[in-house]
Amino acid sequence: MSEIRDAIKNGKTALGIEFGSTNIKGVLVGENGEVLATGSFGWENSLIDGIWTYSQEEILNGLKTCYSNLRKDVEEKYGITPDTYGAIGISAMMHGYIALDKDGKLLSPFQTWRNSNTQQAADELTELFDFNIPLRWTIAHLYQCMLDKEAHLKEVDFVTTLDSYVHFLLTGEKVTGVGDASGIFPIDSETVDYDQKMVDKFDELIAKDGYSWKLRDVLPKVLGAGQEAGILTEAGAKLLDETGTLKAGIVLAPSEGDAGTGMVATNAVAPRTGNVSAGTSTFAMLVCEKPLSKMYREIDMVTTPSGYPVAMSHANNGTSDLNAWVKLFGEFAELAGFPMDPGKLYGLLYENSLKGDKDCGGLLSYGYYSGEGITHLNEGRPLFARQPDSNFNLANFMRSHLYSSLGAVKLGLDILLKDEKMKVDRIMGHGGLFKTKGVAQSYLAAAVHAPVSVLETAGEGGPWGMALLALYLVKKEDGQTLEDWLEKKIFADMASETMEADPADIEGFETFTARYADCIPVEKAAIETLKA
């Protein structure tokens, strides 16, 4: 205890704060990456005038409250109030669109990754670059604004993502990490920067529109893992810690997207490694040994925080509908006079799903709260369906929703593992879906036909990964790569549990996936028919 207190007092720690879709979480780690304290703040996006957004007030309040709760956790556990850290890092859900003027004022509502109003822009840029530009990427949002002749573009000084924006508020620096940048604009892994040929094509494309800026003038500068990304300013310290205790001058790591922090949190940053992050959105990332044979609209090409190319199967919709059903069962339990702790409720329902039929007894669900790029739908309607003779019981019901939370991601993974025949030595699972041991892990193993490992830190996820990136900044040895540092310093003795894929589960999941793919027209009909 005294050693931990000394480490906190002397700033021998690293703090990571990640803005997730439903939770902002801070994780404080010690010199070996061990978790010392946490703090969080729950929030939800809002659909306003057809745009999924969070207000600036919500962003700032969430940041302060998350940090305040972390500070209180430190005080309760160790009896001291932290006033400094070795390094800080900010991460957030990737993509989306934040536009600021020269004074740092928001010019339009923050558009999150969830928005799919950029189809025309994404299609035109994909054709221009011969590179898949998903609807949620920042460049797609920017170009769609141009196509729509948005008036605010005349005043644009900075276009960026949520993590880069918060980093800017804390440091005044217009930068971001390469992993996050790879969801803004295509990256050249050789230069660890935006692909210059594509930058030139974009500038040529918009030259006729008469803007006073070119692309690099408004996008954040790209930094790799381990580079200094700025210093916490006096204003930034007051913004983060409303008590005024926190001192300025702390170094910040490059901000990152949740894809990059997920890779770090699972030690999946080297070629032939992969991970699946399961939460509000669910995405699988495989680090490439070589380029894919062709472009796929279902597959995003992003990078690790060091710049290695990564093939990503990204589903906008993950566990939202699953969580809604669990909440419904919780309401019933309370109504029946048996209120239940959410953690216990999730555990009971998830574990019971293991008793279900391998193919979910013919049940089918689509947890589409929003559009889904992998299945080429620009809107979503949560949907559950079954045949009159389906085996409708609680175990199959829960199993179908657990399968469905991985359904769209599996379609993308099948392209990489079956069509491209990518080789993967290990696949790691992380995120809230894996907190109940042996359930989602076994289903993921069935989905990928391979062993899946879950680390003991799986529940900490991206915020812990961001804290590790901040720690790497101040603890790496000269010339030491992120991959080597993680392998030797953090994960060498890390406990994990590995599950092999069960052949019967594989067969059942393949049957479910075929049904899931064949019945996409049902979801499409629901979108066309169920209007607000």
Give 125-145 pLDDT, tens digit per residue.
999 999 999 999 999 999 999
Residue type, 299: I
- How is residue 188 written in tokens? 């050249």
Q: Report the pLDDT value the prediction gives residue 274, as an integer from 0 to 100.
A: 93
Residue 458 has pLDDT above 80, yes or no: no
Measure the CA–CA gap between 514 and 411, rounded to whole angstroms. Answer: 10
Q: Report the pLDDT value the prediction gives residue 361, as an integer from 0 to 100.
A: 98
CATH of 1-310+422-501, one of 3.30.420.40, 3.40.50.300, 3.50.50.60, 3.40.1180.10: 3.30.420.40
**326-375 pLDDT, tens per residue?**
999 999 999 999 999 999 999 999 999 999 999 999 999 999 998 898 99
**275-323 pLDDT, tens per residue?**
998 888 888 999 998 889 999 999 999 999 999 999 999 898 999 999 9
Instruction: Give DSSP secondary structure letters for 148-182.
Output: TT-GGGGG--EEE-HHHHHHHHHH---EEEHHHHT
Question: Average pLDDT of 32-59?
Answer: 94
Residues whose CB is less than 8 angstroms from the CB of residue 466 and which lie 6 or more positions away in sequence, other chains included: 16, 17, 18, 27, 89, 90, 91, 253, 256, 261, 264
Q: Report the pLDDT value the prediction gives residue 194, as an integer from 0 to 100.
A: 98
**188-208 pLDDT, tens per residue?**
999 999 999 999 999 999 999
- How is residue 354 written in tokens? 């293991």
Q: Which of these, 303, 300, 378, 361, lies nearest to 115 by C-alpha position?
A: 378
Q: Is 316 exposed, middle or buried (0-12, 13-18, 19+ CB in 10 A)?
A: buried
Which element (helix H / strand E) includes 467?
helix 461-475
Q: Report the pLDDT value the prediction gives residue 459, as an integer from 0 to 100.
A: 56
Greatest alpha-carbon pair distance for the chain in Å reads 67
436: helix, strand or coil: coil
Confidence label for 496 from pLDDT (cuts 50, 70 and 90): confident
Residue 490 has pLDDT above 60, yes or no: yes
Q: Report the pLDDT value the prediction gives residue 532, as an integer from 0 to 100.
A: 65
The pairing of beta strand 452-455 with beta strand 426-430: parallel
Q: Which of these, 321, 516, 520, 341, lies nearest to 433 by C-alpha position?
A: 321
Q: What is the mean pLDDT of the chain?
A: 94
Question: Average pLDDT of 247-267?
Answer: 94
Domain boundaries, the chain: 1-310+422-501, 320-405+510-529
Confidence label for 457 from pLDDT (cuts 50, 70 and 90): low
Share of residues in the chain with pLDDT > 70 (%):
99
Which has the minimum average pLDDT: 60-69, 175-184, 306-315?
306-315
